Amino acid sequence: MKQIIAMGGGGFSMEPENKKLDRYILSQCKKEQPTICFIPTASGDAEGYIERFYHAFKTENCKPAHLSLFSPPHNIEEFVSQQDIFYVGGGNTKNLLALWREWELDLLLKKAYEEGKILAGLSAGSLCWFEEGVTDSFGPLRGLQCLGFLKGSHCPHYDGEEDRRPAFHKLIREGLKAGYAADDGTALHFMDGELHHSVSSRENAKTYYVQLKNEEVVETVLRTHFLK
């Protein structure tokens, strides 16, 4: 089964004391002690970000690792093949896509996805999997074409940044594909390209499907399960 878990925001970098989403991601792998690989490309491999990842996952039942494209392993293809879960961090989505394509990491991740490895991430690390979505990679919020592993568009940080919701609505009115919005503290779990369910680490956080109907933007609240 192909799985992508797209977080609007949350996880170890935004909620260090709340491990619900990170543990949910780990629980989706059926291995006893899965390898989970952090990909911090969007942040320019920020050292503090990488350190926080290891600090968060060293006490979990997993084997943490990270993949740097600024200091890459000798054989990237072999390294990727050894991982069970890929956890992509936030930052600049445009830069992430450019570097991944230059190193052909996008192709390696597509192969891993089709082989049943789990893809996950937040912010840039959730947006990248969709056909298109809302990004601040250019400064002002605007649309961006992404990898297309998932159909439609995406907007992370839907409640966390006041300009996100109006920007998503505006872009959909202007022709952006219908798609999924996620509050901070939520995750959209896709299986075989279809939304399986939504979960949250915060009791009132929500996920949405946003589309254009009769020239009006319609926002449908999706059922989101709070991880107690």
CA distances from 109 to 37, 52, 85, 134, 223 (A): 12, 23, 10, 22, 29
Q: Determine the Cα–Cα distance for residues 158 and 167; give it in Å rounded to an integer.
A: 10
Tokens of 225: 């399960």
Residue among 123, 153, 200, 201 flagged as catalytic: 123
Question: Pairing between strand 216-222 and 207-213?
Answer: antiparallel
Question: Within 10 A of 45 (CB to CB), how many other CB atoms are there?
Answer: 18
Residue among 154, 157, 169, 189 flagged as catalytic: 157
> Would you call 157 a catalytic residue per the annotation?
yes
Q: Determine the Cα–Cα distance for residues 228 and 225; give it in Å rounded to an integer.
A: 9
CA distances from 81 to 35, 117, 131, 150 (A): 11, 9, 24, 21
93-103 vs 105-114: helix axis angle to the nearest 10?
Answer: 90
CB-CB contact of 213 with 23 (8 Å): no
> Would you call 66 a catalytic residue per the annotation?
no
CB-CB contact of 178 with 153 (8 Å): yes
Find how far residue 117's CA is from the centre of its chain.
14
Positions marked active-site: 123, 157
